[in-house]
Amino acid sequence: MQFKRSLFIFSLIALALGAPKRGLNARHKVKEVVRAPRGWVQGPPAPADHIIKLRIALPQSNFQELERHVYEVSDPSHARYGQHLSKEEVEELVAPHPESVDAVDAWLSSFGLGESECERSPAKDWITLRVPVKLAEEMLDTKYHVWLHEASGDTAVRTLTYGIPEDVFDHVELVQPTTMFARMKSHKTTFRFSPIQPSDKLSPAEGTSGGAPLVGPGGTQVDASCNQEITLSCLQQIYNSVGVTGSNKDGNQIAVTAYLGQFANLADLKLFYEDQNPAAVNSSFKVVSVNGGQNSQNVSQAGVEANLDTQFAFGLTFPTPATFFTTAGMPPFISDLKTPTDTNEPYTTWLDFVLAQKTLPQTISTSYGDDEQTVPDSFALRACQGFAQLGARGVSLLFSSGDGGVGDNDANPATQICISNDGKNKTEFLPTFPATCPFVTGVGGTIGFPETAVDFSAGGFSNLFSRPSYQDAAVEGFLRQLPKGTFSGLFNPNGRGFPDVAAQGANFLIFFEGDSGLVDGTSCAAPTFAAFVSLLNDVRLEHGKPPLGFLNPFLYSTGFAGLNDITAGNNPGCGTEGFNATKGWDPVTGLGTPNFGILKELVLKV
């Protein structure tokens, strides 16, 4: 295909002046083609002068070697366990080959884009530049349109296909925003006001009004009121950590991430602490802005998700130093806006920032995601590689598994909407990204005590990522006991299974805009499990051991002995009853929920 030019006269002048030919040899090869996900409608051509913030990924020259390091330092049976890599060591492994850097620089230079227009990641594997739509279309031999998501009204500047010049093709892994239609939503259901006014919580021994105490792990008593609302005290009782607090003396840190304009309100946090953790009332957290992210303290702008994450993750781990990452991105597109819109994908925007930091929180929780099929393969793979870099550096990353069961949380065949995006329009289960990335720990949800799987807990098998070896035995055990032919054709039995673990995911008592209320979702489960991981890191650090880092090899080989196996419940969706929680790993609750009393002994033995 001949390279298109919109300004023929300009080309003649450039040739006459001996200027380099734009786009080098100007012959493009198609780099990526996608189908628009269901619900997106193509609108008018994007304004030619609208500014796009393009991000170009160069191939990471030695990622397979980095992957080897990740597994070795994360495997308790390996001699290198816990010997995490430094920032510089990781950057050296993922740095692109100099030939790729030179080729891409020459391509950009042919469009008049020099070093001053380019922002480079520390490893030089990402280049970010701001260009008008007109120039981006010329560079990528494509046409951008304004696309509308009918259900939400969100809009984005995207294209369904783009190309790269032949002589640069192998030196560019992907360019975004181009084919990325994922909307990224928080994993939660609607906030609802609590029917029970919060009050000073009584210990189980004092006999709260919820009825006779139940017996929890390790013989702890679990107040029956925990079946109506979940508090910090309930989680400590259910997960055998009564009396355990975090530490601010060993260098341990915990963080949660926020996107989509989710702000964590400090006044609400104070109310939460007054009600559930009085010792923490005068404490707060560090706010770290990524890409211009804000944390407005206007009470009307408080976010349910952000309040939930900070109140429970930081409430359980106080006084461990806490960080709230607020990342800007993905506002609605306004057609007459000439300045850049943050339509880049927030995961890689956040990754760019944190990977550039010398020191990082050892535990980070995220409660956002989207259907895996809405994320281009190239982007999902590259983001997952970024998560692997954090694992190599000793960071535990936890992602909520999602709230759609096996797809849409609808067991009615007449109303299910689980349709493939491959043009075949077949019914299939819809896995959730990033929980399907094999380098993160996916967290599903439970409800009540004794615990059962909560019906919205997303889980299943990736259609993109193959099953990692660390979960072969556990997943194959589940598949062997699954009746032959069950859900045939609806899921990929060879894919990475998720979630890995679970925690309580319903009836969490939070404070929002000055009022108390209850929240459901695996967004409750992720910060909860992350908090217990952070407390385990305290145990290790106090004994001179490194942090746990990438958790999954430990969980599947040793740590499962410190998890409560959940064997009741299911996750309906896509016109089916979904998978059942069973003995051992299952794609509803993973390996189970934490028993801190046992886990703290296990983490000292590895």
Beta bridge partners of 327: 290
Token look-up 């280049």 returns 127
Three-class DSSP category at 255: strand
Which of 137, 223, 268, 309 is catalytic? The answer is 309
The answer on whether 127 is annotated among ligand-binding residues is no
420 annotated active-site: no
Structure tokens at 355: 């990977």
Known catalytic residue at 476: no
Give the separation between CA 539 and CA 536, rounded to whole angstroms: 5
Q: Which of 367, 400, 523, 557 is catalytic?
A: 523
d(CA 319, CA 285): 10
Does 336 count as an annotated binding residue? Answer: no
Mapping DSSP to helix (H, G, I), strand (E, B) and coil, where does residue 570 land? strand
Name the 3-class secondary structure at 342: coil
Find how far residue 502's CA is from the centre of its chain: 15
**Active-site choice (305, 345, 403, 451):** 305
Q: Name the residue among 591, 417, 406 with its Cα closest to residue 487.
A: 406
Residue in this structure with the two tokens 């520390």, named with its chain if needed:
122
Cβ contact 397:390 at 8 Å: yes
Angle between helices 63-74 and 87-94 (to 10 degrees): 140
E strands within 218-304?
221-222, 254-258, 286-290
Beta strands in 513-585, from DSSP E residues, in sequence order: 515-519, 563-564
Would you say 584 is a known binding-site residue?
A: yes
Residue 196 marked as a ligand binder: no
- CA-based nearest residue to 52, from 146, 163, 145, 133: 133
Active site residue 105: no
Distance CA 205, CA 171 (A): 65
Q: To which H or E segment does residue 527 belong?
A: helix 522-542
Annotated binding-site residues for Ca(2+) read 565-566, 584, 586
Report the binding-site residues: 565-566, 584, 586
Give the active site residues: 305, 309, 523
